[in-house]
């Protein structure tokens, strides 16, 4: 299998979908905006600095899913995608994905964002394979909790290796496109790591090791 792997946030889109979801919820008054915004911004700063406690963040972020009906949440998500995500999708991202698709490479999205947010984004890019943080579902409703290992930092490597075992295919060649230093562990596992509009830490690492640096902006 020849596999092209893509991060989403600030890689295929010019923004962070978790942060945009929080903005959307606050703007629509679906949450207490004063409390939610401050908490969300704190977690985002931790993410940028590489100090994010992913377990605590997921408990915070998934709480709203557990407090609302799934059908209502899906309506919110549809509006969210059109208002917040579609405007920041990068045209060059489609071109990059199609370059791999046209070579019959398998395609995979891997992200620390939760699956509920990721699904319509992956669908827009016509990518079926997704590794994301998994919200727990019970009786067809979200519980507000998560299951399994969060796909963040070293957790991405664990989840990726588990995924390979599950599909039972041998990896012959692989590419991984990401903007974040948090993805360095997985980038070191693939044949062709590519830094895409990288943050400063990833940029420095890419220059030191000799990884390609590209821009989709």
In angstroms, the CA 28 to CA 76 distance is 9
pTM greater than the 0.85 cutoff: yes
Print the domain residue range for 58. Answer: 2-214
What average pLDDT does the segment 180-207 reach? 97
pLDDT computed for residue 38 by the predictor: 87
pLDDT in tens, 7-38: 999 999 999 999 999 999 999 999 999 889 88
Identify the H or E element spanning 133.
Answer: strand 129-138
Q: Record the tokens describing residue 147, joined without a space.
A: 């299951």
Comparing C-alpha atoms, which of 174, 172, 171, 182 is closest to residue 205? 182
**Number of domains the chain is built from:** 1
Residue from 7, 16, 18, 183 carrying the catalytic annotation: 7
- Contact between 118 and 109 under an 8 Å Cβ cutoff? The reply is yes
pLDDT computed for residue 114 by the predictor: 97
What CATH number corresponds to the domain at position 72? 3.40.50.1000
Residue from 9, 18, 106, 183 carrying the catalytic annotation: 9
Is 7 one of the catalytic residues? yes
pLDDT in tens, 142-184: 999 999 999 999 999 999 999 999 999 999 999 999 999 999 9
In angstroms, the CA 141 to CA 162 distance is 26
Is 106 one of the catalytic residues? no
SS3 52: coil
């Amino acid at each position: 299998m020849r596999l092209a792997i893509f991060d989403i946030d600030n890689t295929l889109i010019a923004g962070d979908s978790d942060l945009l979801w929080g903005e959307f919820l606050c703007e629509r008054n679906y949450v207490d905006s004063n409390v939610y915004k401050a908490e969300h911004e704190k977690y985002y700063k931790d993410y940028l600095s590489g100090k994010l406690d992913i377990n605590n963040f997921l408990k915070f972020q998934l709480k709203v899913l557990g407090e609302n009906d799934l059908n209502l949440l899906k309506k919110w998500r549809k509006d969210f995608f059109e208002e917040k995500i579609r405007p920041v999708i990068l045209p060059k991202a489609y071109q990059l994905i199609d370059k791999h698709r046209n070579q019959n490479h398998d395609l995979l999205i891997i992200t620390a964002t939760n699956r509920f947010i990721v699904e319509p984004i992956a669908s827009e890019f016509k990518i079926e394979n997704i590794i994301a943080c998994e919200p727990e579902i019970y009786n067809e409703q979200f519980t507000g909790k998560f299951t399994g290992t969060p796909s963040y930092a070293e957790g991405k490597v664990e989840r990726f290796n588990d995924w390979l075992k599950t599909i039972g295919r041998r990896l012959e060649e692989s590419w991984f496109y990401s903007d974040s230093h948090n993805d360095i562990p997985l980038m070191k596992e693939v044949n062709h790591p590519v830094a895409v509009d990288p943050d400063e830490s990833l940029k420095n690492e890419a220059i030191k090791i000799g990884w390609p640096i590209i821009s989709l902006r």
